[in-house]
Every structure is written in structure tokens, then in C-alpha cells.
Chains A and B, each alone.
Chain A
Amino acid sequence: MSSTEVKFECETGNYHTFCPISCVSWLYQKISDSFFLVIGTKTCGYFLQNALGVMIFAEPRYAMAELEEGDISAQLHDFDELQRLCLQIKQDRNPSVLVWIGTCTTEIIKMDLEGMAPKIEELIEIPILVARANGLDYAFTQGEDTVLAAMAHRCPSGNQTNSLVLFGSLPNTVAQQLTRELETQGIKVAGWLPETRYEELPSLGPGVFVCGVHPFLSRTATTLMRRRKCQLIGAPFPIGPDGTRAWIEKICQIFDVQPQNLNERESKIWESLKPYLTLVKSKSVFFMGDNLLEISLARFLIRCGMIVYEIGIPYMDKRFQASELQLLEKTCQEMNVSIPRIVEKPDNYNQIQRIRALQPDLVITGLAHSNPLEARGITTKWSVEFTFAQIHGFTNARDILELVTRPLRRNNHLKDLGWSKLAAC
């Protein structure tokens, strides 16, 4: 069954993932002068409060504009209501930018957020961005994509030809690390979308090269190309030392720079990963799919010597991820393993049947399935952790393996106790 070409399947789309509004949890922390207003129902609010756990208590810069029955039946005027709430936020928090997150409900009742935003913006004198991060159209991390696509419109125009702007929200430390990695190659990063402050957004325009750091930013990429006339560098993503190296090489190639010491840099990192590699070698993995990082992670794990049975993924942009898919193909050939099946819009029920049949050594999955699978003796890693941990660049390759091997290491400790199956069936 050795296949050498990437094949895609598509299932029913009955799978578990987080709602894309969850992006406010990391974006409000990244953009320190922003305020996120999620316009939705109790359901949205309850999700944020439960998914974000403790963060809610630290006076977060986000809130719900909770729609009530009067809003749904249009007895209340949505323009006045939003204006009132935005004024209140301005008074209490005085942010440099307000981001409205449209939800499923605002879609269904067709609330014209894009139409109202410019008018209210003028009244309250704070820029208002509109991002429709709803569960009707998007999954989990794609929420960030909708926000950054909206933000791309607000970047100042400039004609700095041959400058490089990177897009994707990363913790400041990681963004610094990647910036320095390129600087050592003599490539200057002109700015990031997003920056730590809204007021510091980089200038964009024709002649500006842009490159993504996350696999889920396809709308942002499209907006940057079509609306801001930037030139997109299609590269694999800087996840794992192999991905980071390929990412830097591709950027160097565009800027006509001969990469220096990249080989040694990469092999040194691999050297330092050795203790982890012996743990993961020849172990099998099954990605159930919920955050769109799956292709890059699978590619890295195959390079680490693992066998990937299935890559579930909510949505697959074959153009934006083209280089990443090529690198996956190449990696499989070099490691002499067949290319795993890629399942778009997976069906969790079917996947669990497949997991039962295949008995993989590790299942990377959401929290809804982790405990039940563990109770059936199947080792799992909680997938959401990959979105919150630092996994980009050479420096953080270890953190990915730290996450991947944690359940394996835990199992090594407990393996002689004899009670690995703890469910009734």
C-alpha cells in the first residue's frame, strides 16, 4: 500500500474542534492595545469562559456583546446598541483598536457589521475591524486568519520594494527568534502582521514580499496578494528544524542570498533532539484533525522516524500549503514510508473505528476524545496544546517533541502496573 503521491479524502465533517472565536484568547494578548468584542449569544460566551479557563479572571481585553431576544427579532436597533457598548468600552478601557468578531448568529440574522463599523468608528474615533470568525464557515485557528485578513486592510501603504513582512501571530519571543534567524542570513524583517501594538502595523504595498508562519492563514495570504498587491513567498512552515530550514532557504532564494551555516544549524538541532528521537522512532501516530497544523506536524514527525497513519484536517488549502505538501512528499520518500492519507472534514465516529482497528501508539486529538481513548488503553496527546505552545523555529523544535513524547514517557513510567484499560467497553 505504498503510495508516493498525496491523496485527499473528504468525510462528513462531523468532527470536534474549537469555535474560531477562540482566537481572541491569544490575539488580545498578542496585540496589547486592542479590545475584542464578540457579538454573539450566551453559547459563544460560555464557550470562551470555559475554553479560556483562568484567563477570564485577569481583566481580559475582550467581552461579549450578548444578543438578546429583542436583538434577534429586530425590536432593538443594532446600530444604537453597538454604539452604546463601544462607547462604554472606550470609556472603560480606551483601546487603540476595537475588533468586532462576528458569529454564527450575526450571520444568520444578517447583521451588517461591515456597514455599521465605519459609521461607529467615526463616532467613537477608534478604528473598528470586523472579522467574521464563525462556526458556519471556519474551524478553530482559522479565526486568526479572518482577523489578520481584516487587519491587512489597515496596514499603512508604502512602497518599500524588496522588504519582507511576515504574517501570523506568534508570542513575542518566538517572533524575535525567527526575526534573528533571518537576520543572521542578512535578511531584514521589515515588520510582522500583527505587531505587539496595533499602531505599529507594517506598511504594505506592491514590491513587499510576505511570508506566512502558520498553515492556516490562507485568507490573509489571499488578501495580501490581491488587495495589497504584495508578493507571497510560498514556503513550508517553520515548524520543526526541517521546516524551519526549508522556510529560511525559500526566503533566501527569493532575496537571492546564499544561506550560511544552515546545514550545521539544522544538524546541531537534530543532534540535540536525539534523546527524544529514540523514544518516538517507529512509533505510529494518528491525527484526528482540528487545528490545521496537522500537515506540518506530521511532516516533522515523519522526519523524526514516526509512522503517520492518518492526517485529519478541518480544511486543506492546497495552494497555500503547496510547498508544505511537497516537503511532506519528499520527506516520506526519503524516510521510505508511504504517504499517509489526508482526510479533510473528518468524521470522528469513523475515525474512532479506524483507531480501534489500527491501535496507533499515539492519537493527537481534541479534549472531547482524549480521556475516553485513554480509558481504552490508547495513548493521546491533546491537540490544542500545539496551538498554545511555542513550536516555531529551530529553538523550539524540542518543545514539539516534549509535547509528543510526554504521554509516551508517562506510559513508560506506568507500564508495569497492569491497568491500562480502564473503561467498561
Chain B
Amino acid sequence: MKLAYWMYAGPAHIGTLRVASSFKNVHAIMHAPLGDDYFNVMRSMLERERDFTPVTASIVDRHVLARGSQEKVVENIMRKDQQEKPDLILLTPTCTSSILQEDLQNFVERATSTTNSDILLADVNHYRVNEFQAADRTLEQIIAFYLPPLDPYSSSMDVLPLAAERQHGPPPSQQAESQDSGPSGEQKFSEQPSANILGVFTLGFHHQHDCREIYRILKDLGIKINQIIPEGCLVTNLKNITKAWFNIVPYREIGLMAAEYLHKNYNMPYIDRTPMGLVETASWIRQIRVFVKGNEETYEKYIDQQTRFVSQAAWFSRSIDCQNLTGKKALVFGDATHAAAMTKILVREMGINVCCAGTYCQQDADWFREQVQGFCDQVLITEDHTQVGNMIAQIEPAAIFGTQMERHVGKRLDIPCGVISAPIHIQNFPLSYRPFLGYEGTNQIADLVYNSFTLGMEDHLLEIFGGHDVKTVITKNLSTDQELIWTSSAQNELQKIPGFVRNRIKRNTEKFARSQKIQQITVEVMYAAKEAAT
């Protein structure tokens, strides 16, 4: 047992549901007690989603405990099949239901025979993996279901589910070397170079904007997007994945397993760098050039143009504004992808001193250490927010780049914080275009960093010079009548009212008392005033 007030990563089923509800026309059925479907609330509120979240619960109640789910799960699957006609129904166990050890796979098989939808049981251990690992695994599971591993020993033409697809035309010459290394040689590749983006999800940190930014860069480079998976993707289109020349995995946490699966079984190369920051974006583009055998000169020219003139970040770090940031202390904490990229940007591209870089993705600790090695004084790998808080208090950085939790720690300690990673609030789902990746992303990040630090400096100056305005304001007092007396119980009552409305309540009560010619304000008068107000 562990005493916990806060967690950075959610439970496993949240990850599974994020994958399921990102696909189009996929429905998830949770085997869960009443109230576990708050995922729907998160999606509907945080993402301001207009459509009903395609997740329902098959409720586990006392009855189920006594007799087993029996027909209930199967019935719920069949009902959903008829109501929504999804392509795929994903049965999702939860922490609670997984202890029941019911044979859910058996339910899936029974339901499969009578439904038109495909049915899958999410294969996730709820006590061993978190939200990200579960999402990663579920995405791989769904892709593997529609693109099963090829059997290397039998004639590929017979067993390939996509045999029909593979007979058309030869692959582009660029892929010639892959022909001898396996069955992928028979795939029909797209004429024009194309890529899949793996790992754009609902409830992801700025995923929609990042995806658009990647699309923009690829378009500039003459590369088409074959599929974006899973956001808005139909599972019936998954068989076309292999038409792309390579896969892009923008975030380490989710999508890597699927990319590795496709690499192993379909010989598809993938790029798992994150194009965040100028340096990383440039190496990301160079890597792509290798996959598509692009012209080196054209690519370098593109990188140079974008870096110097489209993105303002390179110029910004040269400008005298950024000089002031030199050597300022910062602490970075977040998921592995964002915390590592942010650390590198702050140090390498802005000259800021990152005292401590950390992540809560313990499963990826080694990768993270390797990434930030040489960029920061200290590495912190923990899931305990109090440890992060203590570290912040101890280091006293000039700015924090972290999650919403670090933002609140910053508030308590009066240190500004830029939010760079989940877990996040509704305010981190902005309506306007705010990518973190690509060249526009570098602009956004520069603004974020700059605003965090200047705010901190402004505060500091204010403190030295004693605030904006040191004269006492004497004319703002609206209650000029001195004859009104507040009884002590009424004053107590007034103190209980939240600060931000207290003055208004006070004014209204006094106005009411005056109109009623009441001299002494009691608690009753306060209530009467509230009742009388229109």
C-alpha cells in the first residue's frame, strides 16, 4: 500500500480508452463498476468534444459479483453492435474487474459469432502498467489484429491478408534494398514518398497542433501523409499502413511499440526522434531525407531557410532579450519526451542553466538519463510529486517547466512555471494554434520560456522597489455611511464568505439595511438582504 495524493500517469484503462476513442467508429465497452466511466467526462470537458465519447460501461454491481457477468457483457456487446454499428468493439477491463478473473476472452469469442463488428479484449495488466504503457500496448494490439505477423515459412502470397494489394506494380526504386529482406518487398508502396504518423491521440498534450505542424513540414518536403494513427483513423484502413515508406513516432510514450511491430513484421523503418526545438527538428528532417533518399542540398537549404527566417527562435536566442536569460536557473519535469526535449532546448538553444531535469516515466528512465546527460546538473526520476516539490524548494530555480502540478508548486513558492507536459488542465487545450513540434513549435516554446522568465524578473523588481503603487488609496471606499453597525456574529458570517465576493455582499447588505432604515446589521439582515436582492 502506498499513501498517495496525486499521480502523474493515470490508470491503465485510461490509456486503452484514449486509443479506442481516438479511432473513428471504434467503441470501447468497459467492464467496470458504476462511476468508472469518468473518462467520458474528461474527454467531453477537456477536449470540448462535440460527439458522444464512444465508451460505455458494462456495469459490475453486487449482482455481477454474486453470479458473474454471465450474459451481461455479451449482451452489452451485441447491443452496441446493433446501436452504433462500429467496426471494432474493444472490451476493456478495469482495476476492479480484472481481479474478478472472469474469462472475458470467452465472452469475446461468444459475442464474435453473432456480431458484425470485430471484437477485441484489451490485453493490459492493470497493476503493472500505467496509462502510457497501456495506450502503447493497445495501439500495437489493434494494429497487429488488422496486420497480423507474416509467417516467414509459407509462401507469402497465400498467407498475406493483403495479398491483393501486393500484386500491383513494383515498389519504388528507393525501396529496392528492402526487397530481399522479406515479404515487404511485394507491398505496393505509394508512388510519392509517404509516411504514417503513429501516436496522435485524444487528450494528448497539444497533439492536434503538433500533428498539423508535422503535416506542414512533410508537405514542404514533398512527402504525403499516408495515415494518422489513431486519431480519426478507421480500423478498416489499417491494412493500408504498409503503403507508406516509413513511420513517424513523434512521442516516445505512445506509438513506439506499434512502430517496432511494423518494423519487425513488415520491415517498415521508423523515426522516433521528436522534432522539438531547432536542433532536433533539423536532425529529424535529415533522418527523413535518408528514408526517402532526398536531395541533400535541397534538404539542407530547407532547414537553413526555416531555421533562420521562418522560425523566430534562432534569432530570438541571439537577440539581447535572450542575453538576460543566460545562466538563469531552471528546473524541468514532465513526461520523457517533453522533459528531455525541453532540457535540450533550454541549454543548447537558449543558454539557460537546467539545474535539474526529471521525468515521471520510470519505465523509460534509462533513455531519459542518456538524453539529458551533459545538459543538466541533476536527473530526477520519480512518480512522487512531493519529491519534485522538495527539489524545487531546495534549488529555487528562476523558472519551472513542468506539469500542472509543478505550476501549483510554483504558485506556492512564487516561482513562475510554463506547462510543457501532461497531466494538464482544460487551459492546456487551447483553441488557437499552439504546436510544440516543428518550426512553429520553436516560436511557441520561445514565447513560453521568455514569458515565464520576464514575469519572474518583473516580480523581483517589484519586490525591490516595493510594488507598483505605494500610495494608499483612500477614495475607493463606497460605504460612506458610518452609522451602520455590524454585529460580531454578522461580521463572522461575512468572513465566511469567499474573499472575491465578500465586498459585494457587504455593499449589498449595507445598501439593503439603509433602504430598510436598519442601523444594526445582524445575520438575519444579511439573509434578508440576499432574499430581497433581484
> Are A and B part of the same complex?
yes
One of A22, A65, A422 near B50 (C-beta < 8 A) = A422
In-complex Cβ contact of B10 among A19, A42, A104, A134 (8 A):
A42
Name the CB-closest residue of A to B7.
A45
Encode contact with A along B66-98: 1 for CB under 8 Å, 0 otherwise: 000000000010000001000000000011100
Query: Closest residue of chain A to B530, judged by CB?
Result: A395
Q: Is the interface of B mostly helix, strand, loop or mixed?
A: mixed
How many residue pairs bridge A and B at CB < 8 Å?
183
A423, B96: Cα distance in complex, Å: 35
- Is A368 in contact with B53, judged by CB distance below 8 angstroms? yes
Q: Which residues of B contact A422 (CB under 8 A)?
A: 50
A243 interface residue per 8 A CB criterion: no
- Establish whether residues A104 and B33, one from each chain, have CB atoms under 8 Å apart when the complex forms: yes
Check if B96 sits within 8 Å of A104, measured CB to CB: yes
Distance (Å) between the CB of B410 and the closest chain A CB?
Answer: 11
Across-interface contacts of B496 in A (CB, < 8 A): 172-173
Query: Is A202 close to B, CB under 8 A?
Result: no
Question: In the bound complex, do residue B1 and residue A71 qualify as a contact, i.e. CB atoms below 8 Å apart?
Answer: yes
User: Whole-angstrom distance between the alpha carbons of A240 and B225 in the complex?
Assistant: 58
A76 CB–B CB distance under 8 Å: yes
Q: Is A135 an interface residue (CB 8 A)?
A: yes
Q: Is B502 an interface residue (CB 8 A)?
A: no
* Minimum C-beta distance from B261 to chain A (A): 27
Asked if B523 contacts A176 (CB within 8 A), the reply is: yes
Question: Residues of B contacting A134 with CB < 8 Å?
Answer: 33
Comparing A49-57, A209-217, A254-262, the segment that makes contact with chain B is A49-57
The 5 closest A-B pairs by CB, nearest first: A19-B35, A135-B33, A368-B40, A375-B50, A41-B95
A81-110 contacts to B, CB under 8 A, are 81-82, 84-85, 88-89, 104-105, 107-109
Contact with A along B24-60 (1 / 0, CB 8 A): 0000000011111110111011001111110011111
A136 vs B61: C-alpha distance in the bound complex, in angstroms? 4
The distance from the CB of A140 to the nearest CB of chain B, in whole angstroms, is: 7
A146 close to chain B: CB less than 8 A: no
* Cβ A394 vs Cβ B531 within 8 A: yes
For B42, the closest partner residue in chain A by CB is: A50
Does A139 contact B51, Cβ atoms closer than 8 Å? no
A366 an interface residue at 8 Å Cβ cutoff?
yes
**Is B534 in the interface zone, CB < 8 Å from A?**
yes
Contacts of B534 in A (CB 8 A): 272, 275
Task: Say whether B50 contacts A371, CB under 8 Å.
Answer: yes
Contact indicator per residue, chain A 243-276, by CB within 8 Å of chain B (1) or not (0) = 0000000000000000000000000110010010
- Known contacts A53-B425, A349-B83; 16 additional CB pairs below 8 A are A19-B33, A41-B96, A49-B6, A50-B38, A64-B5, A85-B3, A139-B35, A176-B523, A275-B534, A367-B40, A367-B41, A368-B37, A368-B44, A369-B44, A398-B531, A424-B50
The residue in A13, A66, A78, A368 that gathers the most chain B C-beta atoms within 10 A of its C-beta is A368
B100 lies within 8 A of chain A by Cβ: yes
| Given A173-B493, A349-B83, A395 contacting B33 (CB threshold 8 A) | no
Whether A155 sits at the interface, judged by CB under 8 Å, is: no
Query: Any chain A CB within 8 A of the CB of B527?
Result: yes
A63 to B5, CA, bound (A): 5
Contact across chains for B3 and A372 when beta carbons are under 8 A apart: no
A72 contacts partner chain B, Cβ-Cβ < 8 Å:
yes
Q: How far is the CA of A109 from the CA of B97 in the complex (A)?
A: 11
Interface size of A by Cβ–Cβ distance < 8 Å? 79
B96 A43 Cβ-Cβ under 8 A: yes
| Residue numbers in A under 8 Å from B425 (CB-CB) | 53
List residues of B (1-27) whose CB comes within 8 Å of A's CBs.
1-7, 10-11, 13-14
Q: Considering the complex, which residues of chain B in the window 244-277 have a beta carbon less than 8 Å from any beta carbon of chain A?
A: none
Taken together as a complex, chains A and B put the C-alpha atoms of A321 and B497 apart, in Å, by: 32
A395-B493 contact given A42-B11, A108-B96, A372-B50, CB 8 Å threshold: no
Q: List 19 A-B contacts (CB under 8 A).
A: A14-B76, A16-B37, A17-B34, A46-B14, A56-B5, A57-B405, A57-B408, A63-B3, A66-B2, A85-B1, A105-B99, A108-B99, A135-B34, A135-B35, A272-B531, A368-B37, A371-B50, A372-B50, A372-B53
Task: Tell whether, in the assembled complex, residue A43 and residue B99 are in contact, meaning their CB atoms are under 8 Å apart.
Answer: no
Chain B interface residue count, Cβ-Cβ cutoff 8 angstroms: 61
- CB of A72 within 8 A of CB of B531, answer no
Instruction: Give bound CA distance, A135 to B96, whole Å.
Output: 10
For the complex formed, measure the closest distance between the CB of B93 and the CB atoms of chain A, giving whole angstroms. 11
Q: Which residue of chain B has its CB nearest to the CB of A108?
A: B99
Counting chain A CB atoms within 10 Å of each CB, the highest count among B4, B41, B76, B405 belongs to B41
Identify the closest chain A residue to B131 (Cβ): A46
Complex Cα gap A176–B45 (Å): 35
Alpha-carbon distance A370/B425, docked complex (angstroms) = 18
Pair B5/A65 contact, Cβ less than 8 Å? no
Asked if A8 lies at the interface with its beta carbon under 8 angstroms from chain B, I say: no
The answer to whether B33 touches A47, judged by C-beta atoms less than 8 angstroms apart, is: no
Contacts of B52 in A (CB 8 A): 352, 369, 372
From residue A221, how far is it (CB to closest CB) to chain B in Å? Answer: 21
B95 touches A65 (CB 8 A): no
- A13 contacts B59, CB within 8 Å? yes
A28 to B374, CA, bound (A): 46
What residues on B are CB-neighbors of A64 within 8 Å? 2-5
